[in-house]
Structure 1
């Protein structure tokens, strides 16, 4: 970003006076080697979500600020900031979410989060582990909203928290909000899975490519009124957002199960070969 473009963004603000880009926010730095290093660490511990955030920070998107401006300064963005100032508070109030009709997105979300032992606040805590400073600008709001909708992607797309499911969600997210971080983790992660299940007929790359196409074709989830979506039937929300059944992903699971491979613990399903464990 040129200095003049950055200066222009620091002068833009919402109706309530919140600046688009705080002048003290450091300029994003493109650091691919750091991203690759953190990706290698992530492959050894896929539960270390903080590494994912570090990868994204190391591979900033060239059009990121323009996407922030387009949503945050629009009428829709103004409405979302006023009606849903904190998504974690909404998403972690399972008692309120359970009062929606059976079959709603809210019920499916609660089922998923409770089964996995997750919370929206927990994702925020992982994000904060990176230690990045916070600024009172619309960039902060945009980043937070993008983070806070992640687990909703799992529920809406049908992708689980197994290794392949996480890669599919990341590439679905790239279709929604492009960044090289999503591409690196998604496709390199799929290649690593393919290596771990060498010889399997499962269409791993077909699954991640399907997820990528679906993300591109779906309206941007973070730009939707989440509270309203949560009240609607899950199938209706999927139809409205043009999210079809993840056929290739489910085919991978079907084939792996027939081959005696546990999709949720691929390494444990394989012989302890040194080259696989070092992947």
Structure 2
């Protein structure tokens, strides 16, 4: 079935609301292994509500949404074709994206594959609503590049605060604050972790919705000009937290471990 032939909402789709026991079960697994991205998709699905669905439907019906549907661009394939962006200026979004993905050993397709561990494509509703939610997934690493939140535990946690204000999924916000609580529990840091998440929420609310953008055009923009155009503010409290954690002897690689694996401060 082509995109244009799909219904807005498939008859199998359920707006489930909040299922706290399911959320808790998968969050415990995520805490045990913060790289287990599959658990994030379980939590998001257990907390999708009417607001996130309404945003999807409004965008799908919009002029840009209809244009993107007609174009049918495969965003992961577009982003992973690094050769398309190799000749862009050094400060372009595309060049920053390539450097970030290479330094982290990531691909856009890799995130797609992780989501399929949660639910194979054939088990998902074949509707335009699913197309929109996949668009949110496929632009996740662009969020990192544009906001400058790192992939350390606090960076991911604070970016979830930003993402919540972009997509209104309560599960995202739950993971964000629970993640900040876990970092506090593990490190005992004096850094204002919860303030970093709140800053992410404010910055996400103030910014244009990244998943609603023309990704190919965005990649060609100067990154400073793109951030200014989109209203993306620097995450000052997050950076302050990293400085405090470093002064306490913790590296970003250590953050996010379970309490049983609590890292010890490094000698100065």
The whole-number CA distance in structure 1 between the counterparts of 2:219 and 2:100 is 13
Q: Secondary structure at the match of 1:136?
A: coil
1:162 and 2:184 correspond:
no
1:206 and 2:225 correspond:
no
- CA 1:228–1:82 in structure 2 vs 1: closer, same or farther (change >3 Å)? same
Q: Secondary structure at the match of 1:63?
A: helix
- 1:1-279 matches, within 5 Å, as 16-28=4-16, 30-83=18-71, 85-132=73-120, 133-198=123-188, 200-266=189-255, 274=260, 276=262
The whole-number CA distance in structure 1 between the counterparts of 2:259 and 2:143 is 34
| Alpha carbons 2:150, 2:156 under 8 Å: kept | yes
- CA 1:274–1:24 in structure 2 vs 1: closer, same or farther (change >3 Å)? closer
1:251-276 deviation per Cα after TM superposition (whole angstroms, max 9, x unaligned) = 111122122111221378xxx98595
Q: Which has the higher contact order (CA 8 A, sep 6+)?
A: 2
Count of residues in Structure 1 that have an aligned counterpart in Structure 2 = 260
Which one has a bigger Cα radius of gyration? 1
1:129-166 deviation per Cα after TM superposition (whole angstroms, max 9, x unaligned) = 01251333101210110000111111111110000000
The whole-number CA distance in structure 2 between the counterparts of 1:28 and 1:249 is 33
1:186-244 deviation per Cα after TM superposition (whole angstroms, max 9, x unaligned) = 0111011111121x332211211111100011111111111111100111111111111
TM-score by length of 2: 0.91
TM-score by length of 1: 0.87
The whole-number CA distance in structure 1 between the counterparts of 2:141 and 2:3 is 30
Higher share in helix: 2
The whole-number CA distance in structure 1 between the counterparts of 2:159 and 2:167 is 12
The whole-number CA distance in structure 2 between the counterparts of 1:16 and 1:150 is 24
**For the aligned residues, what is the CA RMSD?**
2.1
| Alpha carbons 1:71, 1:77 under 8 Å: kept | yes
Q: State the shift of 1:82 in Å.
A: 2.8
